Structure 1
Amino acid sequence: MEEKVMLVHGGGGKQTSELIHEVFAKRFRNLYLTEDDAAILPPPASNIAFTTDGFIVSPWKFPGGNIGKLSICGTVNDISCMGARPKYLSCAFVIEEGFPVKSLEEIADAMALTAREAGVSIVAGDTKVAGHGQVDGVFITTTGIGERLPGAHPSGKSARPGDAVIVSGDVGRHGCTILLARGEYGIDAEVTSDCAPLWGMASSVFDVCRDVHVLRDATRGGVGTVLHEIAGQSGVGIRLDASAVPVDPAVAGVCGMLGLEPLYLACEGRLVIFVPKEDAEAVVAELKKSPYGENAAVIGEVTPDEPGRVVMTTELGTQTVLPPPGGELLPRIC
């Protein structure tokens, strides 16, 4: 097989088949993976969750992951946040002519490893090759199906006054990692993406609290954007304690130098959870059992006043309105 992806690999002939079999099929092999036009899957026992997402991150490789790992985590986590166990994924690749095959194999290896960790099967896919300059390396679209847990109904519309607001770990690491990986600011800091599949953590939350009101993963726009969305959807206010928000010291340092707010930097392995206040301690304790949840914390509460607004008590004891996100969020991650 050639060392680089060429246009002929997208032509549908022998070279296309070779690329699919040598790079993808042997890594994604499972009971349901098909060479036909669609996978035939056993029906779920309860309601299904269904989602799709596109990934165009640059650079494609970064400390803590790559676009392949990210593509699995993003879709697995979206399904998980509906209280559904991820079951099946499909993936579509658009690859730039000249992209190294070894890099493509590295991406596929990361996808296979992450899918195994998440307990999800990649069952179908598509491969296209675009001309040089038409694509920045490789773009991936993943679509996922999951099986909802009985009695699980989390929604951004379900936050209630008195709920505790919990994050499953320190915030802003993925956005900070991508910003530094681009080398545009000349900052040298040890920051690794939080990119992770979160079904195991999400399911454990339901084990200790069946009354989970909201479960979201904070991706583009970070925790701050998610909180504004939930406050608007539910018609409630949210009050945060700035001193309780976990932020890695290196991320805090980079944000201080560049004037960025960690709450608005992307995460790729963090849950935002709203549960009744009396259940918060048990949920945080359960999250801390996960390798992805060691910094889990209650960071605020839901209030009936000031609906649609997020108010933060600063470390000096003053109160400020966390502004709604607007314009171009930095760094632009997709």
Structure 2
Amino acid sequence: MTGFISLAHGEGGELTHRLIADVFAKAFRHHEHMNLDAAIVHCGGGKMAVTTDSFVVKPVFFPGGDIGKLSVTGTVNDLAVSGASPLFLTAGFIIEEGFELRKLKRIVQSMAEEAEHAGVKIVAGDTKVVEKGEADGLFINTTGVGFKETPKVNGSNVKQGDVIICSGTIGDHGIAIVSARERLGLLTEVQSDCASLNHMIKSLLSQTEGIRIMRDPTRGGLATTLAELCEDLQLTVELQETAIPVNREVEGACDILGFDPLYLANEGKVVMIADASEEKRILEVLHENPLGREARTIGKVTTVQKGKLLLRTPVGTTRRMERLSGMLLPRIC
């Protein structure tokens, strides 16, 4: 790792992984549940899930959402994909001097509306104001707490033949952000997929069996998320490129801009590994929800060793997919 922090350290890829492993995990001596999006802690006779996230997205308003909505959905989803029911959030605001009060009110109202929609309460918070030029408008941190009610989500149960299911199209959020940032409205009108998934996931867990593990493919995209799972659980997964759902507009924008949708951020999708015998039922439940109508099976676990993510191309060849390396789109969430 280099001697200085770069923007690439915030991309969710290889440098982020090294930063967390070499600096934070080593110092805090905590390696449990590293393959989950929330920490599972024992509290009394039960278990709770806890997660925290900071949001520095630029611009703060984008097609399909804003930094306020994103700060709620991002934390709610991290709890939900860990098999927990989100209950409470806290919110911390770092506001730059000169930020317009009307914009702040709009963002806070967006947070309130999304929290109500998700069924969570924002119960505590903090504000700090810094001098002009010391921040970039507004940064938000949210911490979430929920009950871990079900033992169903357990990555240690993954086996050969399990299927990989994605709840919908990938790359929407990444293209929405770059479009707003670079004012590419004439190129694409893609909306961010920013949404709280806890209600859909709760229905999924209550109506199906066999879900091994779920992840929220945000920074670094689908490829980075699955590459990490493969390494953490020592799996070899093969994805079918033609099965991965991508909006035509996202695909076109990626062709023009030189991006790979597999590495673009998503903010309203869940990817899971599940028992192949439950595949049909899982897809049925997902398709019943507007947020899961485009859900598809995109691959399978071929072996439970080696820790590799492979992509089978339309011409029948395979290539290995690694974590995102370097910088693609900074400040995406």
What is the TM-score of this pair, normalised by structure 1?
A: 0.83
Aligned residues with identical type, % of pairs? 42
Take 1:52 and 1:97, find their aligned partners in 2: how far apart are those partners?
A: 25
State the 1:59 CA deviation: 0.1
Q: Tell me the amino acid that sits aligned with residue 221 of structure 1.
A: G
Take 1:113 and 1:138, find their aligned partners in 2: how far apart are those partners?
A: 19
CA 322–187 in structure 1, closer or farther in 2 if over 3 Å, else same: farther
1:78-157 counterparts in 2 under 5 A? 78-155=78-155
Match of residue 231 from structure 1: 230
CA 238–143 in structure 1, closer or farther in 2 if over 3 Å, else same: same
Which structure is richer in relative contact order (CA contacts within 8 A, separation 6 or more)?
A: 2
Query: Is the contact made by 1:160 and 1:234 (CA closer than 8 Å) also made in structure 2?
Result: no
Q: Tell me the amino acid that sits aligned with residue 133 of structure 2.
A: G
SS of equivalent residue, structure 1 residue 161? coil
Query: Is the contact made by 2:153 and 2:214 (CA closer than 8 Å) also made in structure 1?
Result: no
Take 1:266 and 1:94, find their aligned partners in 2: how far apart are those partners?
A: 24
Larger radius of gyration: 1
SS of equivalent residue, structure 2 residue 284? helix
Query: Is the contact made by 1:83 and 1:154 (CA closer than 8 Å) also made in structure 2?
Result: no
Find out whether 1:327 has 2:323 as its counterpart. no
Give a deviation string over 1:30-71, Cα, whole Å, max 9, x none: xxxxxxxxxxxxx89731101110000000000000000000
Take 2:290 and 2:261, find their aligned partners in 1: how far apart are those partners?
A: 21
Query: Is the contact made by 1:151 and 1:210 (CA closer than 8 Å) also made in structure 2?
Result: no
Query: Is the contact made by 1:175 and 1:331 (CA closer than 8 Å) also made in structure 2?
Result: no
CA 158–78 in structure 1, closer or farther in 2 if over 3 Å, else same: farther
Take 1:75 and 1:296, find their aligned partners in 2: how far apart are those partners?
A: 22
SS of equivalent residue, structure 1 residue 94? strand
C-alpha RMSD over aligned residues = 1.8
SS of equivalent residue, structure 1 residue 47? strand
SS of equivalent residue, structure 2 residue 252? helix
Query: Is the contact made by 2:169 and 2:244 (CA closer than 8 Å) also made in structure 1?
Result: yes
What is the TM-score of this pair, normalised by structure 2?
A: 0.83
Match of residue 62 from structure 1: 62
- Which consecutive residues of structure 1, in runs of 5 or more, have no partner in the other structure? 1-42
Q: Tell me the amino acid that sits aligned with residue 137 of structure 1.
A: G
Match of residue 243 from structure 1: 242
Query: Is the contact made by 2:93 and 2:140 (CA closer than 8 Å) also made in structure 1?
Result: yes
Match of residue 46 from structure 2: 46
Query: Is the contact made by 2:161 and 2:276 (CA closer than 8 Å) also made in structure 1?
Result: yes
Take 1:292 and 1:232, find their aligned partners in 2: how far apart are those partners?
A: 29
Query: Is the contact made by 2:228 and 2:323 (CA closer than 8 Å) also made in structure 1?
Result: no
Query: Is the contact made by 1:178 and 1:331 (CA closer than 8 Å) also made in structure 2?
Result: no
Match of residue 267 from structure 2: 268
Give a deviation string over 1:64-89, Cα, whole Å, max 9, x none: 00000000001000000111000000
Match of residue 160 from structure 1: 159
Take 1:68 and 1:60, find their aligned partners in 2: how far apart are those partners?
A: 8
Take 1:175 and 1:194, find their aligned partners in 2: how far apart are those partners?
A: 9
Give a deviation string over 1:284-323, Cα, whole Å, max 9, x none: 1111111111110000001117622111111222222224
Match of residue 295 from structure 2: 296
CA 222–44 in structure 1, closer or farther in 2 if over 3 Å, else same: farther
Take 1:318 and 1:46, find their aligned partners in 2: how far apart are those partners?
A: 48
Take 1:72 and 1:100, find their aligned partners in 2: how far apart are those partners?
A: 21
Q: Tell me the amino acid that sits aligned with residue 82 of structure 1.
A: S
Query: Is the contact made by 1:89 and 1:144 (CA closer than 8 Å) also made in structure 2?
Result: yes
Per mean C-alpha deviation after superposition, the further-off stretch among 260-269 and 304-313 is: 304-313
Match of residue 176 from structure 1: 175
- Which consecutive residues of structure 2, in runs of 5 or more, have no partner in the other structure? 1-42
State the 1:186 CA deviation: 7.8
Take 1:44 and 1:193, find their aligned partners in 2: how far apart are those partners?
A: 39
State the 1:244 CA deviation: 0.5
